[in-house]
Structure 1
C-alpha cells in the first residue's frame, strides 16, 4: 500500500466517533466554575420517569440508569470540572435510591473502575446499600482532578430489571473546605 493511502485509512479509523454520550451541564457555584456529566447510555423514559445524567445531581432519589441490553457492564459516567478547587473524595449513591422497592428492583454497581486525569484506574467495590458512600481517590493529598471516569465492571443484579442505576455521582468539593475551616478553628 502507498503511505498516503495508509495514512488516509488510519485517519478515517481514528476519526470515527465512539458511541454518542448524553451529557448534562451545570452552572457555576461558589466551588466550581462549570460541571458537566456525561454517560455512555441512558435507559429510555418509562412511566413518566427519565433516567438521564442530570439525575445524578438532583438530590431527589431519581437515578441515571444505563440503557444497553444486559446489565450495563462497561458503561461509564464521566464528570468534568472547570475551576474547581483540589479535592480527594467522591460521593456516590448506588442504585435507584427513590425507594427500597426501586433500589432492589434495579441493578446496582458492585465493582467499578474509577480513574481521573491525574491518577491511574483503581477498582472499587461498592456496598449494596442505598445510603450515600464516600470514595477516597488515590493519593495522600487533594488534587485538582478535572476529569473523573466511573466504569461499571460488575453488578448486583436487580430482582425485576436488568438495567443498572446510580442516584448520585459527584466530587465532594466541600470536604476539603470543611477541613480547612476546622483547622482554622471555625
Structure 2
C-alpha cells in the first residue's frame, strides 16, 4: 500500500464529469479570438467540457477589457461560477496569461467582481445571491503574466444550476511534494491519503483520484492526459530503490527529476 501510494503521487490530471446540457444549451461569443481564421481558440471551447481546448482572446496586449458572453434561450438560475483559469493544456498553461480579476455581468442589472487564484484547478466563485439571467458576460479586469505569450485564456467555465451545465466537484485539494519528469516534460507531483492526488506542469496544479489495485494503481483523470491520450491510467512500479521508474499504461515512463528544474 505504501509503495502504491508513492507511485500514484507522480501524475496527473483530475476527472471531470459533465452532466447533460439539457434543453437550454448555451451559445458563446467573445469580443476577440486569437487566430480566428484557424478556429483553434473559439469562445465555445470555454464550455465544451474539455480542458485541452480553451478560449483565447486575440487583441494586442494582455486582453484587459476583453469579454466572453454566454447566452441562453430562457433564463437560468445560478449562484456559482465555476472556472478553470488559463490555457487548459497543463504543459502550456504557464506560458499564457491567466485571469487575476474578472467581472461578471448578468442581464445588465447584476454585476460582481472576483479575484482568481493563479491555478488551473477548479475554482468555485459564489455570487452574493442566486440570480436568474439569459445573458452572462465575463470581462477580464487583471491578469497573471504568462512566460511566453500576452494572450489570456479560459479553459472551462460553468454556471452551477439546474438549467445550465453542472459539474462534479472533485473531493479536496492536495499538496505538492516533489518533482518528476518524462523525456520532455517536468511534472510536479502530489499525494493524499484519502484517495485524491494532484499533478501539474510548472504551477498548473490539477486534481485526480486513485485506487490501489494491488499490482498497479488505477488513476481517474479529468481529461485526456496530453502524453497518453486517455482519461484512465494504470501506473506500475518498474524499478524501485533510489532510482524509481514508473510505467504508465505499459509504454510511457516517468523517472525522478534529479536536476530539480
| TM-score, normalised with respect to structure 1 | 0.69
Match of 1:117 in 2: 107
Shift of 1:49: 7.4
Separation in 2, partners of 1:170, 1:110: 18
**3-state SS of 2:93 partner:** helix
State the partner residue of 2:59.
68
Deviation at 1:118, TM superposition (A): 6.3
The answer as to whether partners of 1:34 and 1:83 remain within 8 angstroms in 2 is: no
Q: Deviations over 1:40-68 (max 9, x none)?
A: 0000069x870011111222221100000
The answer as to 2:166 corresponding to 1:166 is no
CA distance in 1, matches of 2:124, 2:163: 10
Distance in 2 (alpha carbons) for counterparts of 1:168 and 1:49: 17
- CA deviation digits over 1:77-125, x for unaligned, max 9? 11112235422111111100211x3110000000111111164322210
C-alpha distance in structure 2 between counterparts of 1:118 and 1:143, whole Å? 12
Task: Specify the SS of the correspondent of 2:146.
Answer: coil
| Matched residues, number | 145
**Structure 2 gap segments, 5+ residues each:** 1-19, 167-261
Alignment correspondent of 1:148: 136
TM-score (norm 2): 0.50
Change (3 A) 1:137 1:118: farther
Structure with a larger share of its residues in strand: 2
Other-structure match for 2:24: 33
> Runs ≥4 in structure 1, deviation > 3 angstroms?
none
Deviation at 1:36, TM superposition (A): 1.1
Q: Is the CA contact 2:95–2:146 (under 8 Å) kept in the aligned structure 1? A: yes
CA distance, structure 2, for counterparts of residue 122 and residue 143 of structure 1: 12
In the superposition, relative to structure 1, how do residues 83 and 29 fare at CA in structure 2: closer, same or farther (>3 Å)?
Answer: farther
The answer to whether the 8 A contact 2:27-2:44 is kept is no
Tell me the residue number matched to 2:187.
Answer: none
SS of corresponding position for 2:125 = strand
Change (3 A) 1:161 1:115: same
Contact 1:84–1:173 at 8 Å: present in 2 too?
no
Taking the aligned partners of 1:92 and 1:113, their CA distance within structure 2 comes to: 13
Aligned residue number for residue 199 of structure 2:
none
Higher helix fraction (1 or 2)? 1
Task: Give the secondary-structure state (helix, strand or coil) at the position aligned to 2:81.
Answer: strand
